[in-house]
Chain A
Amino acid sequence: MQFFHDHILSIVLFTPLAGLFLLLFIPGERKNAVRWWGNIAMFAGFLVSLPLVFWFSREAPDQQFKFIERHDWIASIGAQYFLGIDGISFLLIMLTTVLGFLSVLSSWTAIEERAKEYYAMFLLLQTGMLGVFMSLDFFLFYVFWEVMLVPMYFIIGVWGGPRKLYAAIKFFLYTLAGSVLMLLGILALYFRYQADTGIYTFNVLSLMQHTWPENLQFWVFWAFMIGFAIKVPMFPFHTWLPDAHVEAPTAGSVILAGVLLKMGTYGFVRFSLPILPQASSNPKIVKVMVALSIIAIIYGALVSMMQRDMKKLIAYSSVSHLGFCTLGIFALNPHGLSGSVIQQINHGISTGALFLIAGLIYERRHTREIKELGGLSNVMPVYATLFMIITLSSIGLPLLNGFIGEFTILQGAFEVNWRWAAWAVLGIVLGAAYMLWLYQRTMFGTCDNPKNQVLKDLNFREIMTLVPLVLWAFWIGLYPKPFFDVLEKPVTAIVQRVNPSFYVPPPPVTATVPPAVVPESEPKAATHAPGVTH
């Protein structure tokens, strides 16, 4: 038990990989065995991550990062096998293990061809994604960040729709272009750190504590920004997303929307802000990032409204929702940041569920055209009910999760500049419009298409893929306190680093200009920091 406790992150990380290894010994013709094993391995991956939930708040309460595992890996370049999580990565890891299992469960009947390879790819993908959220060493992080591209490429390219090859390679090239630039940024930091201290290290914690020259911070910020913004995706870099989502199989879309996009926002929160505080809080950069976020919110919503393809609509809605997340991040205050993380989880839940819902109807009708559907609530009442709940969660109805996230982000944005919040609210209104319109067109009215009249409602397995997400949505909507509690410490640490003036009482000078430079290491004033309470 002690061993399990001390190596929990490694165990969570490599359980899917071990499952993949054993999967190789099952002959591919025995499809049911392959399916069972794929599901069991993913479920095991979820089970071993569960103890984190119980241990997390009790473990090392005074440490920023918990469950640390640290070993030398490539000593000659200073790369380490260094894992550790804080509240932010903890939530994202749980999201990954839950969505990973549900998406695999949802593909039981959808994947008939090359099932063994399919499950193998998902298991590999799972390890890649978990590694990204656990790594505290930049080199290790980069390895996982890239590893994960390969299985996703195959999931889209082999089991995808008619334009799968185009979508898959577009996804790969876009992301790769961003990540190699990010690699250059990482190397620039690596050298500068060596020049200043004489130590070669990729240790993120050391890099966070270092003071970088402002000039370097700007260049590295943009290098990181392109890498992360492509992944999010932020406004001008989003064009790969609709293609990838539309062509990917259902489970691929769920993981893509639910987890992969979060890596971009996670990158901003984990690396850009704390390592490059001066650049991230530079008014000009903040303006650019906020402008791009607001454009994404409104543009994504408007484009969603015009879609005829259900999956494409949900894909563009992701652009809009992720706009909220980046807006919250660059509000650079506790409300914005914690709202952003909560919203990332929310987006994983609701959009993941929406893609499952789109996939369920696609499996029955083999079309995603909205106009082909209509009046489905008459023939599929259970489906319609679950779809309703998820729709409401996605548009941010109070008592459901979306509301909590969006509200907190708006609060954070409003504290900085009310105009930001005003623009973002427009996005919420549009979001309600396109989602409800989608629901109306597909579910209500008369079911006059004979092909739709014979549709079967969901079976037990299909219901079970959605129920956990619905429950989670209600949990965050009704009682978000545990989530905010987990986030409080890491968010406070980041804000102290990136926006120290937030915790310093405003200077008595009546100047309208914000205090220019507040010396580093000023966390003493943070004792009266307003905790995030709800």
Chain B
Amino acid sequence: MWNQFFQRADYAAITPEIVLTIFGLGILLIDFLIREKRDKYLNAVTALIGLGMAGVQLVRFWRGSLLPLPYSGFGGAFALDSFAIYFKLIVLVATALVVLISVRYLEIEEAHFGEYYALLLFSVVGMMFMASGRDLIVLFISLELMALCEYVLTGFLRGNRRSNEAAMKFFLLGAFSSGLLLYGMSLLYGIGNSTNLAVIAGRLADRPSPDPLSWMAMITLLAGLFFKIAAVPFHQWTPDAYEGAPTSITAFISVAPKAASFAILMRILLVGIWPLRLEWQVLMMGVAVATMVVGNLAAITQANIKRFFGYSTISHVGYLLLGLVAAADGNPEGLTAVAIYLLVYSFMNLGAFAVIIMMRRKNLVGDEIDDLSGLMARAPGSAILMLIFLLSLAGIPPTAGFIGKYFIFLSLIQTRHYFLAVLAVAFAVVALYYYFRIVVAMFMKKPLDTVPLATSPGVSVALGITLGMTLIVGVYPQPFIVLARAAIRPFFS
């Protein structure tokens, strides 16, 4: 029985996850040995080594030298295909960047504990299983693993009220959405007699339409997922959680869980409930438009920069959902758009957060847009970097953000969703307006304080990587497009 389901190669396929779990546990042990406060950075180094080793293993998987791809393990519950590897790599790189920008910040916040890095790694393990999961049980457990670590990390600043409040809100709403998700999953299980997405899809296709039961399953399932990706109307937790969480964790939850949740969403939409694509396409259109409207319009009036980025994330999610609308028509470019958008979004958003995190200095919270005033006069290098990240977020060429938006527009035009395309470009203009509020503060206002920014080697390395990627993908996107197309191939073979 045992041998029938779990083969030796199955364990080879999850080596990256195993490595990360060991490193996470290892950090908890090593943390005891570090007595001096100033040596806590060793935890970060350990985490980076773990992430690096997992990354190397994933690259070897991608080359296909270890296992034949696509590999299906654990009785079909776990898929190791190019799609999963692509998203796992995004998550790993994003987490590594977050670790780099965390060290100095946590020292300033006086919350530099080893658990922080251990929790980060555990949530990464969750996300990696999310990218590979092809079974409802695997998906749910991995999603919860990720979410629970996030709740704790959001409330990591124990002495800080806002952090506690944010964690509480995030947890309550998250638990509620998990309930919805589970409800949808139980209905699907009832329909499909199986937890395997491919089997469920087969059963769904056989059911006569119209079929209210499967619609009910689809809607509750998607509602739970919409919460995770912060799509309207399940977005209310986002600004609060973003504002209260430690800035490094805000950066983290704005990127890595988004990528992993989109991986799940795509797997469910394109495999599990693919027979219902006409139904979920309509749903996606409505949600995408609402998300773009709310995200873009609400961002205009924010004064707190972390809330601002909360709404900015929501608006980007709106664009990503448009890519899925196009994908429902069987358009591969729509999925390429999502894959590439998530890649560039990770870098540009983390780059912006790397600048923001330097604003947190001893006795200076520095998370209002006004705190960035006159940054050009104080720290021209950081101001110019921030400008490039903002231009990219607004989708101005030749930055990476434009390539992401370009593929979204492309897929909408290709599938003849002209109205959505016009709406999407209209909101690109709105987006420029609010991103440029920060530019105005940085370049055209007088500085409010003269305390130097909290720079550190880690932040500098993170800025270098994010800037490099933002510009390279913008100017020469060719290899990344090839990569993204390879990533989505499992769905269109």
Contact = CB atoms under 8 A, between A and B. Distances in A.
Contacts of A142: 397
B426 A177 contact: yes
A172 B425 contact: no
B426 A158 contact: no
Given A74-B477, A76-B481, A143-B397, A173 B409 contact: no
Contacts of B436: 153, 169, 172
A295 B397 CA distance: 34
Interface string B382-419: 00000000010000111000100010011001100010
Contacts of A76: 478, 481-482, 485
A150 interface: yes
Given A154-B443, A173-B433, A180-B428, A74 B397 contact: no
A475 interface: no
A184 interface: yes
Contacts of A75: 478
Given A172-B432, A184-B413, A143 B398 contact: yes
B271 interface: no
B429 A180 contact: yes
Contact of A169 (B409, B413, B433, B478): B433
Contacts of A73: 476, 478
> Chain B CB within 10 Å — which of A76, A142, A147, A173 has the most?
A76
B421 interface: yes
Contacts of B443: 154, 157-158
A172 B443 CA distance: 16
B440 interface: yes
B444 A165 contact: yes
A188 interface: yes
Contacts of A169: 433, 436, 440
B397 A150 contact: no
A150 B391 contact: yes
A146 interface: yes
A176 interface: yes
Contacts of B421: 184
A532 interface: no
Nearest to A185: B413
Interface string A211-248: 00000000000000000000000000000000000000
Interface string A431-444: 00000000000000
Contacts of B440: 157, 165, 169
A400 to B, nearest CB: 40
Ranked nearest first, the 5 interchain pairs of A and B with the lowest CB-CB distance are A180-B425, A143-B397, A187-B413, A76-B481, A177-B429
Interface of A: 73-77, 117, 142-143, 146-147, 149-150, 153-154, 157-158, 164-165, 169, 172-173, 176-177, 180-181, 183-184, 187-188, 190-191
Interface of B: 376, 391, 396-398, 402, 406, 409-410, 413-414, 418, 421-422, 425-426, 428-429, 432-433, 436, 440, 443-444, 476-478, 481-482, 485
26 contacts: A73-B478, A74-B477, A74-B478, A76-B478, A76-B481, A146-B396, A149-B396, A153-B436, A154-B443, A158-B443, A165-B440, A165-B444, A169-B436, A173-B429, A176-B428, A177-B425, A177-B426, A180-B426, A181-B425, A183-B425, A184-B409, A184-B413, A184-B418, A184-B421, A188-B413, A191-B413
